[in-house]
Structure 1
Amino acid sequence: MAQKTLPFNKEQLQQIIAEYGTPFHIYDEKAIRENARRLIKAFSWAPEFKEYFAVKATPNPYILNLLREEGFGADCSSLAELMLAEKVHILDENIMFTSNDTPAEEYQKARELGAIINLDDITHIDYLEKHAGLPEILSFRYNPGPLREGGNDIIGKPEDAKYGLTKAQLFEGYKAAKAKGVQRFGLHTMVISNELDPNYFIGTANMMFDLALEIYQTLGIKIELINLGGGIGIPYRPEQGPVDLEYVGRGIKEAYESKIVPGGLHPLKIAMESGRMITGPYGYLVATVLHKKDIYKHYVGLDASMANLMRPGMYGAYHHVTVMGKENAPHDHIYDVTGGLCENNDKFAVDRELPQIDIGDIVVIHDTGAHGHAMGFNYNGKLRSAELLLKEDGKVKLIRRAETIEDLFATLDFSGLEK
């Protein structure tokens, strides 16, 4: 079986724990930067390429800022995410705002920042016009429904997903927006999540290029931006391999040169909104073993819980587990690795073959750099952990402190209660 590697050893981790305690999420800056550069290089052939990092994956200003330094923009879907982008000086058309069931104040903020607004429903044209005014450039999110196979438990099959416009609505939307004075147009789709087949993304590009050409030929509207969405998966399991970005880039280039160039839409801006693939493999949840329990099964209880990493409990998702200092020990014990929530799905691993685990052992849960801390919550009054950044020089920076009980109670008023 292939090995999952770590950017630190047990001794280094013990020094970090001595200062910050556990649990915490820690991100590897060097690896994130190198991965960002690899994606940009894979699309260096394009007349213009933009990666709008999916802020929801890792909504931390230090992460956003280092990605901005690598040339990334921001894919935002809420007011808070727009404000985070603004805080790190990602502005104007370096932001793509894609949301659903959107309040007026969020459209207003997107207009204020000059973001590219990507509408999720045809009725939002009038809503946006009424509450924020129509911008010069407008994009629409396409839902191909049964025309595009795919989907999974995370995003659902296209025809069952709540997102986007049908093809008929898309054409109607472009006509209506043009009639209202919109001058520039984008096209977007996002129909898969955590996909490891590189051909899926090439297929999506072909679908979108064909659609853009049909819009041009039918409506006379030149699409200037096609956002192919995100959805590139990561190898959560040791036996899996990462998506070959170079292969994807070459495949999309071939589609571009065979369709967009002769079709009269060159030059066209190509965009993506990857989140998981950018930071996911380079984040780790570090926890300490508090208890062991042997009843009908063997349980290992951590000081982290589903409140720190929701994916295993929510999706049954696999995350690799390393017991520090026992990397080469035989995996001859079977455990459920759990947290302390009053819910039986609060498990990081079920029936997992691991080395013998003892109370006090340090456990590292891999691939938590996206949709990890971001999906945290406070059920049972659990407090969200700190976030740390492992800098390129080996130093560690606190980029989000751990929550306190005072934070949790800050919105409560105890003053009127009887003694």
Structure 2
Amino acid sequence: MSQLPFPEQAAADAAEQFPTPFYLYDEAAIRANARRLHEAFAWCDFKEFFAVKATPNPHLLRILQQEGCGADCSSLAELVLCERLGITGEEIIFTSNDTPAEDYRKAMELGAIINLDDISHIDYLDRLTGLPELICFRYNPGESLGSDTAFIIGQPQEAKYGFTREQLFEGYKQARQRGVKRFGLHTMVLSNELNSQFFVETARMVFEVAAELKRELDIQLEFVNLGGGLGVPYKPDQEPVDLEHISSGIRELYQQMIVPAGLDPLRICMENGRYMTGPYGCLVTRVLHQKHTYKHYVGVDACMANLMRPGMYGAYHDITVVGKPASDSDGVCDVVGSLCENNDKFAIDRPLPEVERGDLLVIHDAGAHGHSMGFQYNGKLRSAEVLRRSDGSFKQIRRGETLDDYFATLDFSEFPAQPEVAQASSQ
């Protein structure tokens, strides 16, 4: 079983202060992990732009900002969230697709690095706001590196993202003709990848394009963004990604390809989300019921609306029953929620210790693409988020939604008050 980022008792202590279900993040672990990433790439001019979509909470963004991270945004809301924290300018890279005009306007207003997803957006942005001095293009190589994570982001040929190689070179020509002075190059071909060599091969691919741009168009890139995708070992038999292997491999390629091409110094960027917070947040939930029919079901007060990855992707998350050793297995069960969907399951045929009504379950590695992917089907309400500070104390960093929140956007003005409805139904 994967390790919790905090002592098991911390989940129980937090559950005495906050009603379940809730997310619990560990500040010290998030900070330590961010420092590991930066230390691994200390040999170069390195920048991590945290993928805000993974865990869009200002308290977590502030922690990562303090650890030297910028922000990778893909929507208006994410841009405004960064603005309210004072994260502006080239501390933001705006990587979006099928982008509304208001999103581009906000990104330009904040001085963010604009990373265009399509060649037609050069003219679109130019007509809308004028082109910025610095621009970046997202490259889709059209072929896979051999990653087994295509089920998340799709094979490059099937993915909706990015420029083709031909469009990429034409795009740089057009941008320079329209007055752009500074350039970057971006790609994103991996997601939740644990094979460290694939990241080295991504760098090789990008470095080749960078050298060719210099040779053919005399484009001097300021940075390359290798995307994110550093994976999390969700399953017990998986090994963590080897940062040192990735760093040393990229460093060797840098010396072999970038320096001779006259591109040194070249900033190397990444935009990880899952890797930065995923293992350091958990969903804490309580057992409500057990059911014995054709299978043994353990029903909890969380559901797929709180964490949709298992139901959406069939993703695996370890589960701890607080206070009961994992070795004390009492057979297998499905851990389920109350949503009216049969895929509302956190685990299928999972060995667990004997559970009782009221037991706390902690679902591991839920600190990214967890709360942020929540929804409100069946009128389910999004849960609270809690931060375990470095001193061990707890702070609620997002309150749970209420029924008033759920109904706030509905107009009941044309309907009779509840007492009248009750009276009419009784006649």
Measured against the shorter chain, the TM-score band is: over 0.9
Alpha-carbon shift at residue 253 of structure 1 (Å)? 0.6
- Which one of the candidate residues 216, 219, 227 is aligned to 1:218? 216
Say yes or no: does 1:109 pair with 2:106.
yes
Structure 1 unmatched ranges of 5 or more: none
- What corresponds to 1:30 in structure 2? 28
SS of 1:333's partner is strand
Alpha-carbon shift at residue 281 of structure 1 (Å)? 0.3
- What corresponds to 1:366 in structure 2? 364
In structure 2, what residue type is equivalent to 1:369? G
State how 1:175-190 maps to structure 2 within 5 Å: 175-190=173-188
SS of 2:137's partner is strand
- What corresponds to 1:64 in structure 2? 61
Q: Indicate conservation of the 8 Å contact 1:53/1:75, yes or no.
A: yes
In structure 1, what residue type is equivalent to 2:289? H
In structure 1, what residue type is equivalent to 2:249? G
Alpha-carbon shift at residue 45 of structure 1 (Å)? 0.5
- What corresponds to 1:296 in structure 2? 294
Alpha-carbon shift at residue 87 of structure 1 (Å)? 1.3
SS of 2:288's partner is strand
- After superposition, give the CA deviation of every residue in 1:233-275 in whole Å (9 maximum; x if it has no partner): 0110122121111211111111101110111000001000000
Say yes or no: does 1:98 pair with 2:98.
no
Q: Indicate conservation of the 8 Å contact 1:4/1:238, yes or no.
A: no
Alpha-carbon shift at residue 341 of structure 1 (Å)? 0.2
- What corresponds to 1:206 in structure 2? 204
- Partners in 2 of 1:273 and 1:201 — Cα distance? 13
The 1:407/1:270 distance shift into structure 2, 3 A limit, reads same
- Which one of the candidate residues 231, 240, 244 is aligned to 2:242? 244
Say yes or no: does 1:192 pair with 2:190.
yes
Q: Indicate conservation of the 8 Å contact 2:58/2:85, yes or no.
A: yes
- What corresponds to 1:122 in structure 2? 119
Say yes or no: does 1:8 pair with 2:26.
no
Say yes or no: does 1:315 pair with 2:313.
yes
Alpha-carbon shift at residue 327 of structure 1 (Å)? 1.9
- What corresponds to 2:168 in structure 1? 170
- Partners in 2 of 1:187 and 1:43 — Cα distance? 19
Q: Indicate conservation of the 8 Å contact 2:12/2:322, yes or no.
A: no
Alpha-carbon shift at residue 6 of structure 1 (Å)? 4.5
- What corresponds to 1:78 in structure 2? 75
The 1:212/1:407 distance shift into structure 2, 3 A limit, reads same
- Which one of the candidate residues 122, 142, 146 is aligned to 1:145? 142
In structure 2, what residue type is equivalent to 1:124? H
Q: Indicate conservation of the 8 Å contact 2:144/2:155, yes or no.
A: no
The 1:413/1:326 distance shift into structure 2, 3 A limit, reads same
Q: Indicate conservation of the 8 Å contact 1:185/1:224, yes or no.
A: yes
- After superposition, give the CA deviation of every residue in 1:190-223 in whole Å (9 maximum; x if it has no partner): 0110000000000000100000000111111111
- Partners in 1 of 2:386 and 2:193 — Cα distance? 28
- What corresponds to 1:324 in structure 2? 322
- Partners in 1 of 2:393 and 2:129 — Cα distance? 45
- Partners in 1 of 2:182 and 2:301 — Cα distance? 52
In structure 2, what residue type is equivalent to 1:137? L
- Partners in 2 of 1:385 and 1:115 — Cα distance? 31
Alpha-carbon shift at residue 148 of structure 1 (Å)? 4.0
SS of 1:14's partner is helix
- What corresponds to 2:279 in structure 1? 281
- What corresponds to 1:256 in structure 2? 254
- What corresponds to 2:333 in structure 1? 335
In structure 1, what residue type is equivalent to 2:260? P
In structure 1, what residue type is equivalent to 2:4? T
In structure 2, what residue type is equivalent to 1:186? G
Alpha-carbon shift at residue 100 of structure 1 (Å)? 0.2
CA RMSD of aligned residues (A): 1.1
In structure 2, what residue type is equivalent to 1:310? M
Q: Which moved more, 1:353-362 or 1:389-398?
A: 353-362
- What corresponds to 1:409 in structure 2? 407
Q: Indicate conservation of the 8 Å contact 1:149/1:158, yes or no.
A: no
State how 1:368-387 maps to structure 2 within 5 Å: 368-387=366-385
- Partners in 2 of 1:148 and 1:17 — Cα distance? 44
Alpha-carbon shift at residue 3 of structure 1 (Å)? 4.8
In structure 1, what residue type is equivalent to 2:377? Y
Q: Indicate conservation of the 8 Å contact 1:104/1:132, yes or no.
A: no
Alpha-carbon shift at residue 8 of structure 1 (Å)? 2.5
- After superposition, give the CA deviation of every residue in 1:117-149 in whole Å (9 maximum; x if it has no partner): 000000000111111210000000000012644
SS of 1:240's partner is coil
Alpha-carbon shift at residue 355 of structure 1 (Å)? 1.0
In structure 2, what residue type is equivalent to 1:367? D
- Partners in 2 of 1:146 and 1:284 — Cα distance? 35
- Partners in 2 of 1:79 and 1:27 — Cα distance? 25
SS of 2:107's partner is helix
Alpha-carbon shift at residue 5 of structure 1 (Å)? 3.3
Q: Indicate conservation of the 8 Å contact 1:149/1:157, yes or no.
A: no
Say yes or no: does 1:266 pair with 2:268.
no
Q: Indicate conservation of the 8 Å contact 1:148/1:158, yes or no.
A: no
In structure 2, what residue type is equivalent to 1:182? V
Alpha-carbon shift at residue 37 of structure 1 (Å)? 0.4
Q: Indicate conservation of the 8 Å contact 2:113/2:135, yes or no.
A: yes
